[in-house]
Structure 1
Amino acid sequence: MNKTLRWTARTVVVTMSAALFGAIAFGYYTYHRAVDNLVTDDVIVAGDQGVPMPPGSPTLAPRPAEDTTILLVGVDSRTDAHGHPLSREVLDELRAGNADGEQNTDTMMVVHIPADPTKHAFAVSLPRDSYVDIAGGFGTHKLNSAYARAKNAKLTELLNNGVGQADAEKQATTAGRRNLIATVTALTGLRVDHYAEINLYGFSEITKAVGGVPVCLNESVHDKYSGAYFPAGKQTLKGVDALKFVRQRHGLPGGDLDRVRRQQAFLAGLANRIFSAGTLTDPGKVTSLVDSLTNAVVLDKNWDLVSFAQQLQSLTGDRVRFFTIPTIRPDLPTPYDGSAVEVDPAQVRSFVQELLADHQSSTGSGRTGKPEPPKKGKSSVVVQRINQTADEHPIDASEVPCVN
């Protein structure tokens, strides 16, 4: 367990916001260049997010109106944030195949930030292979397909109705994002206020901009699929190597769940690099970070990032906790989607509601929110968690947890 993990939620959702905040100090021109060039999309819709919700969807969990919930998404896209196909050279470097525009969501995290800085924030990872009801009437499939299924269906509809390719692609992509938001809302019971999406190439470039990210492996890895060839122990990764580290899933004992834990550890290292290495006080690094973000990130159009960054200045790292939703079997056989991660939506929603209750009432000296030991039997729930609480032994923030 690592103290830097307590910074994860803040770093995950506001890397782009922190860059803008740093840009303000750097100069008026840099700030406006960042804001003007960021890609936005109209994906947040009141009520049911604008798409049919899965049958039996719950009433959204109650919460103070001023709290903020963000859906952070990493997409396996062969285009940049502006929709431009990546070059063959870049695709080969990333081992990303062809620039076909397909957008599966490889990383999904819900981050809840309370308006009251004395209360705890939390981030919850959603494994991409979770087998869930997909919004929009698409049936039960892996969570990471919610975006692509809705996008492809909308694209076909629009093209058949005579809409031009460019306009159809844009509208279909918005439909995909909205469908993912609706699916996550139904699964977790949390209303999503803001959306942040990052693509493969942009992720690679961001790690270069901050000078690399420290990671640690329990054992050496040799994965021909992702190209991940790393020694055991501590090391600093950037660019394509960083991307290989977070994308590897073959050869990991826990499969998708191990991949989630590796992503969490990596984001902890990114937190360390951004907030402890002088990144936001270095004009050159701020410029590089802003440039990489404008080609990497898509945000909902109504998100005031500067105000959000200012709000987070009062949220200390020890008031952020990081979780993964409860899961059952990691190798659930499915009719059409191969092996998936089994989840019980009712247990997921109950888990999230307990987090809301615990973190809304906590002031740093309340409950730790430690999960109960897994129960035996078919209904057993395995709660994967990386967390550092006040009653545990803290580790220096410069260190990074070792993972598989």
Structure 2
Amino acid sequence: MVSLLVMSLTGYAWAAMQGLVSGLTTADVISGDQPADGARDILLVGMDSRTDAQGNPLSEQLLAELRAGVSDGVENTDTLIMVHIPNDGSKAVAISLPRDSYVSIPGFGTHKINSAYARGKAAERKKLQDSGDTDAKDIEVKSAQAGAKTLIATVEQLTGSSIDNYASINLLGFSDITKAIGGVDVCLKDNVNDPYSGAKFTKGKHTISGVEALEFVRQRHGLPRGDLDRVVRQQVFMAGMARKVLSAGTLADPGKLSSLTDAIKKSVVLNQGWDILGFAQQMKGLTGGQLQFQTIPVVNVDYPTPEDGQAIKVDPSAVRKFVQGLTGPPAGAQSTPPGPDNSATTVDVHNGTPKSGLAATVSQALTGKGFKAGETGNASARVKATTIRYPAGAKDAAQSVSDALGVTAALQEDDSVQTGHVLVVVGSDYSAASSAQNVQQSSGAPSTGAAAPADDDDKPITADGITCVN
């Protein structure tokens, strides 16, 4: 997956090659190509898929070579990165979204973000089959597009950014592209030997490609910070790939460029309407030092969920603030309009858990954020997932309530909710301690939560030089 940015960065070198653009696989998941604000936000997706870009299944021999393991029948998105590119094509920032981030998925409640695509695809597949559609290819294409749209909506809601372009790649494409460019230079702080991913490397620098590259970016067992260290692995690999392909040795080698384009055609899917040639021209001036990699802030890296096992808890408000801080207008630009007036919203709270007094606790937390206190009481039944209900036209107010609580609750329009009010139905997934911590953080008070510590591993990575990692 991490090779997708290279496709963008080096477009000016290979996009002119005959047949490339016409040979790319596209999907109808985004309307139009020109970003509303001029800057471009691209969602890069690494699919845990056992098919090529055209939907053809990979052979058993090839799967064995890739050490892909046994498929569980679910197409999860193992890697998610949002790339923001300003109008002039300079100083791009790539923001990683850890695959286990516990977030609100529009229409499906709160789950790990890597399941958004699969949930959207499965729901559309069932809908098409129930309607009488028996064309397997038609069902596959339409359900895959629905999965991508669900994922895009999830990322937009979490980050506060509008996704302008979408690109995905599968396991085969990643392996083939790394081999096409002659491998990527990486560096490890210590020896690793992980039987799960197959990663077995000695301390120091290595040039890796193909299966070894897959093992390097997929390992998370045995790493000090688990999935967060895997995210860093992916970032340094992408940086190394960008550095390698931007070098004259790769761009000037017709054989490498031909192999690269063949690999991309087989394994990359882009949104329809993306003007790749125009975009490539925009990217001409980008150098390794102008490409920076970051990861969204997290609250708890070992968060227990009701249905999805251990996950990574994130604060949606903090994520949006972090992303907008990296992608917002430069200094001197017109300031953004003020946020919503919380005092205009009355919040009612119903407790759907056995815990006594929780509705009052939540109400108090919200009044401390400027909302008006409404009715508190018990819900009509026990509920697992926290939901925030709002009347027509009040979705922004509901989102403000969710942000204030620091929870990833599902937002639901409900005509029974009084105008000017928002109803919070607290479920068993609600963590009062985590919510209180988020309120403290947003108000500047000290926090004793389980946020990942800031250290050398959290420093931004660029494509200028080789960074040694866990």
CA 1:123–1:212 in structure 2 vs 1: closer, same or farther (change >3 Å)?
same
Deviation at 1:224, TM superposition (A): 1.0
- CA–CA separation in structure 2 for the residues paired with 1:165 and 1:153: 15
Q: What is the aligned partner in structure 1 of residue 122 from structure 2?
A: 152
Report the 3-state secondary structure (helix = DSSP H, G, I; strand = E; otherwise coil) of the residue aligned with 1:195.
strand
> In structure 2, what is the Cα distance between the partners aligned to 1:388 and 1:258?
13
SS state at 1:73 partner: strand
Q: Distance in 2 between matches of 1:230 and 1:276?
A: 26
Aligned pairs (5 A) from 1:152-301: 152-163=122-133, 164-276=135-247, 278-301=249-272
Partner SS for 1:291: helix
Match of 2:111 among 117, 141, 162: 141
Matches of 1:89 and 1:351, distance apart in 2: 44
**2:460 is matched with which residue?**
387
* 1-structure distance, mates of 2:169, 2:459: 23
SS in 2 for 1:157: helix
Aligned mates of 1:246, 1:346 — CA distance in 2: 29
2:12 corresponds, among 21, 31, 48, to 21
Matched residues in 2 for 1:289 and 1:307: separation?
Answer: 20
Distance apart, 1:66 and its partner CA? 0.9
Greater radius of gyration (CA): 2
State the distance in 1 between where 2:313 and 2:300 align: 5
Distance of aligned partners of 1:192 and 1:85 in 2 relative to their CA distance in 1, 3 Å threshold: same
Query: Is the 2:103–2:111 contact (alpha carbons within 8 Å) kept by the matching residues of 1?
Result: yes
3-state SS of paired residue (1:278): helix
Of 98-107 and 251-260, deviating more is 98-107
Return closer, same or farther for 1:22/1:121 CA change in 2, 3 Å cut-off.
Answer: closer
TM-score normalised over the length of structure 1: 0.82
Deviation at 1:314, TM superposition (A): 2.6
Tell me how far 1:242 sits from its aligned partner. 0.4
Size of the aligned set, in residue pairs, is 355
Distance 2:4 2:325 in 1: 22
Q: Deviations over 1:114-150 (max 9, x none)?
A: 1035x64322110000000012x11110000000011
Cα displacement (A) at 1:380: 5.1
Judged with a 3 Å threshold, the aligned counterparts in structure 2 of structure 1 residues 99 and 166 are, in CA distance, closer, same or farther, namely farther
Contact 1:327 1:382 in 2 (8 A): no
Verify the 8 A CA contact 1:223 1:250 in the aligned structure 2: yes
In structure 2, do the counterparts of structure 1 residues 217 and 64 end up closer, same or farther at CA, with 3 Å as the change threshold? same
- Paired residue type of 1:401: T
Q: Once the 2 structures are TM-superposed, how far is the Cα of residue 287 of structure 1 from its aligned partner?
A: 0.3
Which range moves more in the overlay, 272-281 or 237-246?
272-281
Task: Give the aligned partner of residue 275 of structure 2.
Answer: 304
1:18/1:342 Cα in 2 relative to 1: closer, same or farther (>3 Å)? closer
- Residue 32 (str. 1) matches residue 2 (str. 2): no
Q: Is the aligned partner of 1:330 residue 2:312?
A: no
Residues 10 and 245, structure 2, Cα contact 8 Å, conserved in 1:
no
**Residue 40 of structure 1 aligns to a residue in which SS?**
strand
Q: Give the whole-Å Cα distance in 2 for the aligned partners of 1:318 and 1:18.
A: 13
Evaluate the alpha carbon distance shift between residue 362 and residue 243 of structure 1 in structure 2; reply closer, same or farther with a 3 A threshold: farther
Name the aligned partner's letter for residue 21 of structure 2.
V
Amino acid at match of 1:140: T
CA deviation after TM superposition for structure 1 residue 13, in Å: 5.0
Aligned to 1:66: 38
Q: Which amino acid aligns with 2:98?
A: P
C-alpha separation between the residues in 2 aligned to 1:144 and 1:374?
32
1:41 to 13, 22, 27: 27
Equivalent pair of 1:265/1:400 in contact (CA under 8 Å): yes
Deviations 1:166-214 (A, max 9, x none): 1111100000000000000000000000001011110000000000111
Q: Which of the residues 432, 449, 452 maps onto 1:378?
A: 449
* Deviation by residue 1:74-119 (Cα, 9 ceiling, x = unmatched): 11111011111000001111222346763211111111111035x6
What one-letter code is carried by the residue in structure 1 that aligns with 2:13? Answer: G
**Which of 46, 53, 72 is equivalent to 1:81?**
53
The separation in 2 between residues aligned to 1:70 and 1:291, in whole angstroms, is 22
- Give yes or no for contact 1:85–1:99 (8 Å, CA) kept in 2: no
Question: Aligned pair in 2 of structure 1 residues 305, 157: CA closer, same or farther (>3 Å)?
Answer: same
Change (3 A) 1:120 1:382: farther
Q: Quick one: distance in 2 between partners of 1:323 and 1:290? A: 28
Other structure's SS at 2:469 match: coil
Write the distance in 2 (CA, Å) between the matches of 1:168 and 1:278: 44
Contact 2:239-2:461 within 8 A present in 1 as well: no
Where does residue 82 of structure 2 map in the other structure? 110
Percent same amino acid among aligned pairs? 52
Gaps of 5+ in 1: 1-10, 26-30, 47-62, 364-372, 390-395
Give the alignment's Cα RMSD to 1 decimal: 2.6
C-alpha distance in 2 between matches for 1:378 and 1:221: 30
Conserved 8 A contact 1:78-1:102: no
Which blocks of at least 5 consecutive residues in structure 2 are unaligned?
334-443
So what's the TM-score if we normalise by structure 2?
0.71
Matches of 2:300 and 2:85 in 1, distance apart? Answer: 30
Is 1:349 the counterpart of 2:320 in the alignment?
Answer: yes
Q: Distance in 1 between matches of 2:223 and 2:450?
A: 25
* 1:161 shift after superposition: 1.6
Q: SS of the residue aligned with 1:43?
A: coil
